[in-house]
Amino acid sequence: MFLHCGRHQLDLTTPMVMGILNVTPDSFSDGGHFTGFNAAIDHAMSMIEAGAGCIDVGGESTRPGAAAVTASEEIDRVVPVIEALATLSGVPISLDTSKAEVIRAGARAGASMINDVRALREPGALEAAAATQAAICLMHMQGQPRTMQHDPRYDDVVREVGEFLQARIDACELAGIARERLILDPGIGFGKRLEHNLQLLASLPQLLELGRPLLIGVSRKSMFGALLGRAVDQRLAGGLAAATAATLAGASMLRVHDVAATVDAVKLAVALQERGYTMLQRGPAPDSTTRPAP
């Protein structure tokens, strides 16, 4: 499946790893690590060297409880980094934002993708995105980042997420954004409990029926704290397992902090797929009272 991504045409037949570059002081995992321009560029280039096919630049944290950032402050954080990376690297640069002003500024600076946790629902965002040639990642989120984890509820999380994403595809097409520019993200961890996240990861083939590639972001997320009891800096194994499972289930892009390790996991999953691997349901446990026939 192809994704029209600004001046890039991405062939997602082989899944791509997207490296996360947060130029923020308060992101949950790496806040403050790459706020300096040189540190940000060096980290992005190291991720590209490790195999990242895309870099996602974010200037406002979307973790629960994070402080809001003005459009001008966000632009000041991301535009110099996008300009430099668009010149220095040959990979598409994604901009993680929801604001129309930032979308326009980022596209002028060289961003080839807009990664929006609000799926272009902020005022003017849909029109701003339509005026670019950038790819658009439409993500599902219940509520708003600062309160989304207070009490998320669903009757059927897979159906509801799918219906939301279909509605956003329809809105984009009505605004003149071609389907070939769209990639979908079910929003793991965004207004969802552990069970919701697991149900979505187990049901990616159903979401692929929407006809667009899927981007999955599970790197270092709180679901691994809930499921495995691991602190943020101890979640690599869980993230790799989830990335591998998502790749085998049909995901086309993995948004991660730990690029090199995820690239290896994706290579293994792809090698298995090329050799006919299929995901099978585990059968019932054998009855311990029975014995195989001689």
Q: Is residue 282 in a domain?
A: no
Q: Is residue 225 in a domain?
A: yes
Give yes or no: 221 in active site. yes
Strand, helix or coil at 122?
coil
With CA atoms as reference, report the closest residue to 19 among 61, 60, 49, 63: 49
Q: Is residue 290 in a domain?
A: no
- How many domains in the chain? 1
CATH number of the domain that 165 lies in?
Answer: 3.20.20.20
- For each successive 10 residues of the chain (294 residues), what is the average pLDDT? 94 96 70 74 97 96 79 96 96 98 98 98 98 98 76 93 98 98 97 95 97 97 94 95 96 98 97 85 52 44
pLDDT for position 44: 97
Q: Which of 255, 275, 282, 291 is catalytic?
A: 255
Q: Is residue 286 in a domain?
A: no
Q: Is residue 283 in a domain?
A: no
Q: Is residue 280 in a domain?
A: no
For the stretch 140-149, pLDDT in tens is 999 777 676 7
pLDDT for position 240: 97
Under 8 Å between Cβ of 213 and 3: yes
What is the distance between the alpha carbons of residues 158 and 136, in angstroms, rounded to a whole number? 21
**CA dist list (Å): 91 to 55, 94, 181, 188, 294:** 7, 10, 16, 25, 60
Domain that holds residue 49: 2-274
Q: Is residue 50 in a domain?
A: yes
Q: Is residue 293 in a domain?
A: no
pLDDT for position 284: 57
Classify each residue of 274-285 as buried b or exposed e, where b means 16 or more C-beta atoms within 10 Å of its C-beta: eeeeeeeeeeee
pLDDT for position 184: 98
pTM, full prediction: 0.90
Give yes or no: 192 in active site. no
pLDDT for position 29: 55
Q: Which of 221, 235, 267, 275 is catalytic?
A: 221
What is the distance between the alpha carbons of residues 124 and 190, in angstroms, rounded to a whole number? 22
